[in-house]
Amino acid sequence: MASLNSFEELQCWKKARSLRIKIREHYIKFPPEEKYLLVDQLKRATRSVTANIAEGFGRFHYLENSKFCRISRGSLTEILDHLIVANDEGYISDEELDILRINIQECLTILNGYVNYLVTSNKKPKRNSISNRTDNKQPITNN
């Protein structure tokens, strides 16, 4: 993976952002009594996905980054549950739920790929590290 300058370049963040926008298009039509209930939960969960991807990216460490991505993954499944509730309450149709379910699965697939990349990258031997030297020479230090 090429070096990235911003979390905004991550495909998993882009896809999650798109999902957040699509879901907003639905919950703004929910009845007013859901404003502080289901709508609030959907807002928080959808924002959590992109926010945790961004926060993990900012940690500059593979293991910490993957931890935040796993939190995002949990938020994606939470979103699905909220959407099922919205469907049960008649706020979104079966067809809308199916389309959003596919979008969530696509997000999960991309995010899982990114987590796999992070975990795999962490296990690769580091170049020029003292423990991986095969010439038995000690590195020169300025101490």
pLDDT reading at 140 higher than 60: no
pLDDT reading at 61 higher than 90: no
Over residues 69-75, the mean pLDDT reads 97
* Tokens, residue 93: 């149709």
Fold exhibited by the domain 31-121: de novo design (two linked rop proteins) (1.20.1440)
Q: Which long-range contacts (C-beta less than 8 Å, at least 24 apart) are formed by 68-72?
A: 69/12, 69/111, 69/114, 69/115, 69/118, 70/115, 72/12, 72/16, 72/48, 72/111
pLDDT tens readout for residues 104-138? 999 999 999 999 999 988 776 554 444 444 444 44
Q: Determine the pLDDT at residue 128.
A: 44
pTM, entire model: 0.82
Mean pLDDT of the chain: 88
Q: Determine the pLDDT at residue 24.
A: 97
Q: Give domain limits for the chain.
A: 31-121
pLDDT tens readout for residues 8-32? 999 999 999 999 999 999 999 999 9
pLDDT reading at 2 higher than 70: no
